Amino acid sequence: MTTMRRGHGPASVAGVFAFFLGAGLILDGDWTWRGGLLMAGGVALLAAALLGTRRA
Amino acid sequence: MCHPWLAAGVTCVLALVLVRELGPVVRGPAGGARAADTGLLGVRLRTWFRGWVEPVVDALLAAGLSANVVTALQLLASALCGLAFGAGWLFTAGWLLLSCGTLDVLDGGMARKRGAANPRGAFIDSVVDRYADGAVCAGLAVLYRDDWALWAVLAAFVGAFMVSYTRARAEGLGTECRVGLAQRPERYVLLAAGSIAGALGSHLACSPVPERVLLTASVCVVAVLANATALQRAVFVLRRLS
């Protein structure tokens, strides 16, 4: 039986990826809405991972 | 248009993630392996990164994806990275470059975990890796088309190909050659760091100078280290063969 460290897992990796990709869309291309949505999605995924996603 | 507040926020989040994740790795006990043998990133960082992506490997396998699909995604990400570099989207390009490296680790991990690691898969992976390197360098060449740094990009391109060629040729002659200061992960991390830090610096300072200086510096460092690594491998193989 393995226990993942809190905040580690597919959701947190996808969250980090989406957050920074969204930031890139705003910083590089001024794609405010699309980038903002990606960043918000990333934060939601990260929050879900950090608030207790533990797999037995 | 510059976004200093967003750049400041992203810098803080990035610093937080790096300190939280890499702090324990850096403070951990030092390994005995030399950087010249294991690469600049070292064994501890490589082991930490493999552990970090391990749950993703499990999730992708559970979703029924094969390693070849992830390899194809890596090729797509590298093509997008080249386009982003060509368009001057440096933060996005740096981030996509890190994603390419991650997908490269993921496909190998998936193949090993599924017990499907075979010469055919390794061959496909190597070919895709070279095209991925080519796509990234092509994007950088477009970005620096009117600049002296184009020569550094070309040197980095030649060095990157020679690093893998020396190993492939050595293996063809029956000698294993895994040494090297700047292998693919090191080159990607250096380029991505220069690209991301430069883009954030430019937005914080509202000036194009930091991104030009930092990315150019990282391309020059990669050019020198990649060719030094190719020479290091050539010397290593020559000693083994004599």
pLDDT in tens, B109-132: 998 888 777 888 889 999 999 999
Separation between Cα atoms, residue B74 and residue B62, nearest integer Å: 19
Instruction: Classify domain B39-241 at the CATH class level.
Output: mainly alpha
3-state secondary structure of B25: helix
Partners of B89 on chain A (C-beta within 8 Å) are: 24, 28-29
Question: Lowest-pLDDT range, B34-43, B164-173, B195-204?
Answer: B34-43
In contact, B204 and B5? CB cutoff 8 Å: no
Q: How many CB atoms lie within 10 A of CB B32?
A: 6
Quote the minimal CA–CA distance from B95 to chain A in Å: 7
Quote the minimal CA–CA distance from A29 to chain B in Å: 7
CB contact (8 A) between residue A19 and residue B13:
yes
Convert A11-42 to b/e letters by CB count within 10 Å (16 or more is b).
bbbbbbbbbbbbbbbbbbbebeeebeebbebb
Compare B22 and B186 and report the one with higher pLDDT: B186
Q: How many CB atoms lie within 10 A of CB B5?
A: 10
Separation between Cα atoms, residue B215 and residue B143, nearest integer Å: 11
> What chain B residue is nearest to A39 in terms of C-alpha separation?
B10
pLDDT for A53 equals 56
- Count Cα atoms within 13 angstroms, Cβ side, for B44: 15
Q: What percent of chain B clears pLDDT 90, i.e. is strictly above it?
A: 72
pLDDT for B168 equals 94
Q: How many CB pairs under 8 A join A and B?
A: 57
Mean pLDDT along residues A12-18 = 90
In contact, B69 and B212? CB cutoff 8 Å: no
CB contact (8 A) between residue B55 and residue A16:
no
CB contact (8 A) between residue B52 and residue A19:
no
Quote the minimal CA–CA distance from A47 to chain B in Å: 13
Separation between Cα atoms, residue B74 and residue B80, nearest integer Å: 10
The string of pLDDT tens digits covering residues B54-105 is: 889 999 999 999 999 999 999 999 999 999 999 999 999 999 999 999 999 9
Q: Residue B225 is encoded by which pair of tokens? A: 């280290």
In contact, B77 and B96? CB cutoff 8 Å: yes
Residues 146-185 of B with CB under 8 A from A: none
Q: What is the ipTM of this complex?
A: 0.85
CB contact (8 A) between residue A10 and residue B55:
yes
**3-state SS track over A11-54:** HHHHHHHHHHHHHHHHHHHCCHHHHHHHHHHHHHHHHHHHCCCC
What's this model's pTM, rounded to 2 decimal places?
0.91
